[in-house]
Each structure stands twice: as C-alpha cells, then as structure tokens.
C-alpha cells in the first residue's frame, strides 16, 4: 500500500528548508583590521580587564558589601575551609578549583558523601563570576554573595543548615574574633559568611592576551585568533557573550533554532514526534532551565578552554563541538571546520591569570 505524505508535513518541510537557506548559501568572508576589531569589541562592551588589583576591587565593588583587606582575607579563608560542609571534607574550592579554570572539570558536581547533582548540573566557573548579573545555570541568584549560600545548604553538596554552620564557626574563638573584627558583630552569622566569601570571589578576575590586544598590542593574539574574533563579533556570538566577562550578562533561550534532523520520522510517519531531547545533545538530568523554558544564564567564556565539559549537563566534551553547536543552533550559521578552529584560537586568548 502506497504511503501518503500528509500536506502538513510537506508544508513544514518547506518552511524548515526556507529557514535553512542562509546556512546553505555561501557566505562572504569578513575581514577586519585590528583597529576595526577593537571597535567592534567595544561596541559589544567587550572591555579589557584591569591591569592591577586596585582596578579589580573598583570593577567589582558592591555598595551592599563594601570590601576591605580583612574581609577579603576572611572570605579566602572560608573559601578553602572544609568546615563549611557537614562531614568537613568539602570546601568551595573543591568544586571551584582556581587552577582548573574555576570549576572541577566534571560533567556533574559531586558533593556530600559522593552525591551527584540530581539534575546532572556541572559547576560554573567562579573566575570572573562577580561580573555576571546572575548566578547558577538558571540565574536564580543575583550575585556571588547570594550564590555562596546555595551550595552550603544543598543536601547533595555541602549539606549544612545556616544554624549548624553558625554554631560550628562560633565554637572557634579565633574565627569568631575575626568576624567581630570585620563585621563589628559578636557572633558569626550566615549572612556575614556569605558576604565574606563574596568579597573574596569579587577579587577573582583574570587577564590575558585578549586584554593586551584590546589595549593596542597587535601581536598579542595570532592571525587565526583574529579571524575567530571577527567571526565572534560579526556573526552574533558577541550579542550574548558580552561585557568584560564575555558572558554572564543575560538569560537566553537555548536552543534558538531547530532543523529537520531534530525530528524523527517526520516525513513518512503518521504520528509526528519530536526527538526525546530538546537539546542538540543528550538530555542528561532533564534540567530545562529557568521556569522549564529552556532559558539559561549565558556562560562566561573567559578561561572556557579550561572548563570542559560543556553546557549545563556536561554532555559535550570537546570545545570544537560546543562551538559548532552554538553556531548552528544559536546564530543559525553552522561554522566550517576551519572557522571552528579559528574561533577556538580566539577563545584560547581568553585564558588568563588572576590579577594581583
């Protein structure tokens, strides 16, 4: 018996084909001079990091949590203190390793007694996070101070209640004295624990070759990196990955686009159904972003070459594949292998060291 293709299926196929035409037509290569590249970067607020520590403090200043050397030192001490976890084996630095790009390079965070994040979420980088306008994959925390209190309380991370943590630290006379000196209060409070850690995390900005290029050093990055940066600022990447942190400034839908290959049995099956995953990779953990609407905080791309695996559930191990996915599903123009190599060369210029 001859199978008949439903008219709705044909219409849908035509629409998808028309939407795919920009990807099928040849694209003229855009060439920008170094000066034009810097101008394009500035138009997306891609500004260089401060050269010195004083500039870091100024760039991340929060009037609700004014910093001091003593508060920063206390926050650093707490950041590395395993007493913040129930079994005293996990600290903030366990999942946010400063030498490893500010994360733990695991597909999903592992916490108290080896528990994995139930939604298979990995740890975003803490480096440059203070410049972001929201924290966590769904952007539910407004700043690093609020974020610092989340993992402490999560049962699958550090598994401590605020009262338990306050009691533990108040039992240490030396720590209690430090808090009194910094905050002028007699007891350690959970609010002040978050403020101290936040003050320290506000100092974790990094600087590298990208910043030197933006400041006028034409030789700071390679020709390949300049080609990649041109793609980045002209094809739409910088529309979301913006700001001094190169990301973290907004909540965006992902993926924005779908293609014929995203559907199963579309042309000849009587029952049209979407593929199981709403993402162009395996939907490990089932997390669908803010409000289950596929809306995610735009990741910070500084040091992205050191923060594999990629995406919220760590389903993609290679940066090249992450770039391909983003080019296809976000900006609607799938990069060639050569273009991907150039973009990766540019992303490598975003590697940096902590500003001292």
Catalytic pick among 145, 146, 157, 269: 157
How many angstroms separate the CA atoms of 30 and 156, rounded?
48
Q: Is 276 a catalytic residue?
A: no
Nearest residue to 42 via CA among 229, 320, 286, 313: 229
Task: Tell me how crowded residue 281 is: count the other CB atoms within 10 A of its CB.
Answer: 16
> Are the C-beta atoms of 56 and 353 separated by less than 8 Å?
no
Check: CB of residue 87 under 8 Å from CB of residue 155.
no
- Give the integer Cα–Cα distance in Å for 75 and 172: 16
Write down the number of H helices and E strands in the chain. Answer: 13, 6
Q: CA angle at residue 140 from 292 to 164, to 5 degrees? A: 120
Give the pair of three-digit tokens for residue 148. 């610092």
How far, in Å, CA of 315 to CA of 317, rounded? 7
**Angstrom distances, CA of residue 308 to CA of 36, 216, 231:** 31, 30, 22
- The dihedral built from the CA positions of residue 86, 311, 282 and 263, taken in this order, carries a sign that is positive
Q: Judge contact between 112 and 87, C-beta under 8 A.
A: yes
Q: CA torsion sign, 38 to 41 to 42 to 43? A: positive
Residues marked active site are found at: 157
């Amino acid at each position: 018996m001859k199978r008949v293709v439903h008219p709705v299926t044909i219409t849908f196929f035509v629409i998808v084909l028309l939407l795919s035409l920009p990807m099928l037509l040849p694209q003229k290569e855009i060439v920008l001079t170094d000066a034009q590249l810097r101008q394009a970067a500035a138009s997306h607020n891609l500004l260089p990091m401060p050269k010195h520590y004083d500039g870091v403090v100024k760039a991340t200043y929060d009037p609700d949590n004014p910093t001091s050397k003593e508060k920063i030192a206390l926050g650093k001490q707490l950041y590395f203190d395993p007493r913040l976890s129930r079994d005293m084996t996990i600290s903030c630095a366990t999942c946010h390793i400063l030498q490893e790009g500010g994360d733990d390079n695991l597909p999903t965070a592992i916490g108290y007694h080896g528990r994995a994040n139930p939604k298979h979420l990995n740890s975003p980088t803490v480096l440059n996070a203070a410049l972001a306008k929201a924290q966590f994959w769904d952007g539910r925390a407004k700043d690093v101070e609020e974020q610092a209190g989340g993992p402490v309380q999560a049962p699958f991370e550090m598994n401590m209640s605020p009262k338990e943590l306050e009691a533990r630290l108040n039992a240490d006379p030396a720590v209690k004295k430090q808090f009194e000196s910094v905050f002028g209060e007699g007891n350690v409070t959970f609010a002040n624990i978050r403020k101290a850690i936040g003050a320290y995390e506000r100092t974790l900005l990094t600087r590298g070759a990208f910043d030197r290029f933006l400041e006028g050093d034409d030789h700071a990055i390679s020709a390949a990196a300049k080609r990649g940066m041109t793609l980045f600022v002209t094809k739409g990447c910088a529309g979301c990955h913006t700001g001094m942190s190169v990301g973290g400034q907004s909540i965006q839908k992902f993926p924005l686009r779908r293609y014929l290959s995203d559907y199963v049995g579309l042309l000849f099956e009587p029952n049209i159904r979407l593929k199981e995953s709403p993402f162009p990779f395996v939907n490990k953990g089932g997390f669908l972003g803010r409000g289950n609407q596929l809306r995610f905080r735009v990741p910070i791309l500084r040091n992205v070459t050191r923060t594999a695996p990629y995406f919220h559930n760590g389903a993609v191990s290679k940066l090249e594949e992450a770039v391909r996915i983003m080019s296809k599903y976000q900006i609607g123009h799938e990069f060639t292998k050569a273009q991907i190599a150039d973009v990766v060369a540019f992303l490598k210029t975003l590697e940096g060291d902590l500003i001292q």
